[in-house]
Amino acid sequence: MSFTSTQLVTSRKMGIYNPFQQISMWEDTFKGDSSPNKGVSTILQVDARLDNKSEFISHESGGPSSTDQEENKPADKVQRRLAQNREAARKSRLRKKAYVQQLETSRLKLAQLEQEIHRTRKQGVYTGSVLDTSHGGFSAHVNSGIAAFEMEYAHWVEEQRKQIFELRNALQAHVSEIELNILVENGLNHYYNLFRMKADAAKADVFYLLSGVWRTSTERFFLWIGGFRPSELVNVLLPQLEPLSDQQVQGVRNLQRSSQQAEDALSQGMDKLQQSLSQGIGAQSINAGNYASQMAVAMDKLEALEGFVNQADHLRQQTMQQMSRILTTHQVARGLLALGEYFHRLRALSSLWAARPREPV
């Protein structure tokens, strides 16, 4: 049912005008009249009358006028805008503070890395000048392969520090087995990458690698064919891995025994090579006739040194892989953490020894 303009006028004359009744009339108009033009005209007429009546009621009741509401709207909008600006400024200050802290941390790490590179570079230059000789004099030439190894090793040491930090936090936070396994795999691969780097360095200059100049003085004290002894490493780590099951203890002992046997075989091979080289050079007096042939034979024997270094690193890698199979993921993580801290303490001990106070001469 729809109200017509005549009915609206009649309602007013009878004194029963109600604005809410008009609203219902709008709805009935939308529902009952399918003509869009007629609906729009009816709405406009009713809306105009309702506006006049509403304005009259507003003045009668003394309520806030539309002018006052319009004046209050800009003030509310300004307050909201100021609040948004303050929040944006606060977030911006927090971002700047975090960025400055990140820059400071990066600066400290960069300074440490530069010091490490500077130290290893000086040692590499010294080694090259001593080992690369010609006609009784010292050569200033530095092997490019060794220089690349020094840079890589400096990055390797810095990355190891980060991994120690991550492992320690992960163990303290009791992370999931999956997360811990990822850290363990990264830690093992990090050492395997070092063995690859050393193989490249041995091709460039095996004497440089065997001398251990690329390591600190305390690390050189424990050096065996360019690295650590696997069996000794098991002795260092074993107390950090307890408690172990009986089966694990037996597996670690067997691994330690087999590693010791392989170490003895490599050490005997190195001794025989040294003996053979010494006897070959010193067996006959050096003269113009046999000098060239003696040096050629000695050079052939020295080429075997690279094989010994690679076999020693292969033994180290095999020992680490076997240990990771015997132990649980959590135990391997503790072992890698203990191993990293062990080498870190050796480097720290070297720095303390170098900086020790000395008696005046």
Tens digits of residue pLDDT in 304-331: 899 999 999 999 999 999 999 999 999 9
Examine the pLDDT at 24 and tell me if it is beyond 70: no
In whole numbers, what is the pLDDT of the chain averaged over residues?
A: 75
Instruction: Kindly state whether residues 168 and 114 are assigned to the same domain.
Output: no
Instruction: Kindly state whether residues 91 and 240 are assigned to the same domain.
Output: no
Instruction: Kindly state whether residues 269 and 317 are assigned to the same domain.
Output: yes
Instruction: Kindly state whether residues 236 and 121 are assigned to the same domain.
Output: no
Q: What is the pTM of this model?
A: 0.59
Instruction: Kindly state whether residues 105 and 242 are assigned to the same domain.
Output: no
Q: Which residue has the higher pLDDT, 196 or 140?
A: 196
Instruction: Kindly state whether residues 223 and 115 are assigned to the same domain.
Output: no
Instruction: Kindly state whether residues 173 and 311 are assigned to the same domain.
Output: yes
Q: Is residue 28 part of a domain?
A: no
Instruction: Kindly state whether residues 159 and 229 are assigned to the same domain.
Output: yes
**Residue 282: which domain range?**
144-355
Number of domains in the chain: 2
User: Residue 361's pLDDT is what?
Assistant: 62
Instruction: Kindly state whether residues 104 and 209 are assigned to the same domain.
Output: no
User: Residue 126's pLDDT is what?
Assistant: 38
User: Residue 288's pLDDT is what?
Assistant: 52
Instruction: Kindly state whether residues 114 and 233 are assigned to the same domain.
Output: no
Instruction: Kindly state whether residues 94 and 148 are assigned to the same domain.
Output: no
CB-based burial, 97-128: b 16+ in 10 Å, e otherwise = eeeeeeeeeeeeeeeeeeebbeebeebbbebb
Instruction: Kindly state whether residues 194 and 95 are assigned to the same domain.
Output: no
